[in-house]
Amino acid sequence: MPPNPEVPSFAVIPGAQVHRVLDGRHEEVVRLVESAYRAHGAGDTVNPPSSFLRFPDRPASRIIALPASLGGPAPVDGIKWISSFPGNITAHIPRASAVLILNDPTTGYPLACLESSIISAARTAASAALAADRLSQGRDRPRRIGFFGTRLIARFIHQYLAGTGWTFEETHIHDLSDEHAHGFTRHLEHEGRNGTITLHTDPEHLIRSSDLVVFATVAAAPHVTDPAWFTHNPLVLHVSLRDLSPEVILCATNIVDDIDHCLKAETSPHLTEQTTGNREFIDGTLYDVLTGDLKIPHDRPVVFSPFGLGVLDLALGRHIHDTLRADGQLAVVDGFFHETRRYG
């Protein structure tokens, strides 16, 4: 600790500023996410288990706390507080909302409060794009993509794939909501570079038609249960974590972001562990792939199941804070900490 640490300023960073810093910088965001994964794999992070706040009178809703600490050249501590209230959708407002608190690692004082639904979606999509790139190396790059679920996260994943150089000859779409499916189709048509776009009412047909499958649903329990749908050995970005049955998981090469985090909260890998009584079906982590310690076989499906690490949110949050500060655009709240002398 410095001999005379000072109380830092406190800033509020709204969603418009978050969007402005991240918008169109897909490759930069992917690099930030990769750096955070490498720091985590090297032990330069603290990432405790997430805490779930649930409500007996509102069982479909929850709020999750993700505390974390990220080391490296721009260290930061903090916590993401993200809610999921599915009932919002009927009121035509987003299901999820979030804030991110950054803490100064020297004094522990909060540095900033950031609107974080954009950060959360961006880090999730960047993680998916990074995994798609690294897990497809050594095989033919997928040219047929299928989106199973078409809400916000699907849109962000599409943007990050397109923003890091992916193009597709075919794009396949399945959603239980016709409204969401057609809205996503219009988005893809506007963005371009997606080849022919096909809507599917049959989920099996979507999976069999795709070499890269993106699961971005709000499913609470497995609903895809037949391993035969995956005999063409696609790459599966299992972002929503609860779509695949243990039978499907056991027929795949399974990569996660963090084994202890992913095997809890009734995720598909967690259910598979409960079924088998072991974790031997987990082949490794994305960090193992990034470092070259794990080679991906091509003779079976590959499933990436990322639980979502708080250190990824911190990496983007710190970058946004520091970018705005360097540009002189940080909205500091003067006098936020009223009592800053130990003895008054």
pLDDT of residue 260: 95
Asked if residue 186 and residue 113 are part of one domain, the reply reads no
Q: Is 343 among the domain residues?
A: no
Q: Is 60 among the domain residues?
A: yes
Q: Is 332 among the domain residues?
A: no
Asked if residue 144 and residue 76 are part of one domain, the reply reads no
Q: Residue 112: give the domain boundaries.
A: 11-119+310-326
**CATH number of the domain enclosing 298:** 3.40.50.720
Asked if residue 163 and residue 113 are part of one domain, the reply reads no
Sort residue 268 into left (φ over 0), alpha (ψ -120 to 50) or beta: alpha
CA–CA gap between residue 304 and residue 72 (Å, rounded): 26
CA–CA gap between residue 79 and residue 64 (Å, rounded): 10
Q: Is 86 among the domain residues?
A: yes
Asked if residue 268 and residue 209 are part of one domain, the reply reads yes
Asked if residue 283 and residue 155 are part of one domain, the reply reads yes
CA–CA gap between residue 149 and residue 184 (Å, rounded): 10
Task: Give the residue ranges of DSSP H helices in the chain.
Answer: 15-22, 26-41, 117-135, 152-163, 178-191, 203-208, 246-250, 259-262, 268-276, 286-290, 310-326
List average pLDDT for each run of 10 residues in the chain, which is 344 residues long.
77 98 97 97 96 94 96 95 92 92 96 97 98 93 96 95 95 94 92 88 97 95 98 97 98 97 95 98 98 94 96 98 97 87 66
Q: pLDDT averaged over the chain?
A: 94
**CATH number of the domain enclosing 112:** 3.30.1780.10
pLDDT of residue 2: 58
Tally of domains within the chain = 2
pLDDT in tens, 283-328: 999 999 999 999 999 899 999 999 999 999 999 999 999 999 999 9
Classify the C-alpha dihedral 146-150-153-158 as positive or negative. positive
Asked if residue 114 and residue 76 are part of one domain, the reply reads yes
pTM, two decimals, is 0.94
Output the DSSP codes for 172-216.
EEE-S-HHHHHHHHHHHHHH----EEEE-S-HHHHHHT-SEEEE-
Asked if residue 317 and residue 288 are part of one domain, the reply reads no
Entry field: residues in the chain: 344
Q: Is 134 among the domain residues?
A: no
Smallest Cα–Cα separation from 15: which of 89, 91, 100, 74? 100
pLDDT of residue 344: 60
Q: Is 340 among the domain residues?
A: no
Are 296 and 323 spatial neighbours (Cβ–Cβ below 8 Å)? no
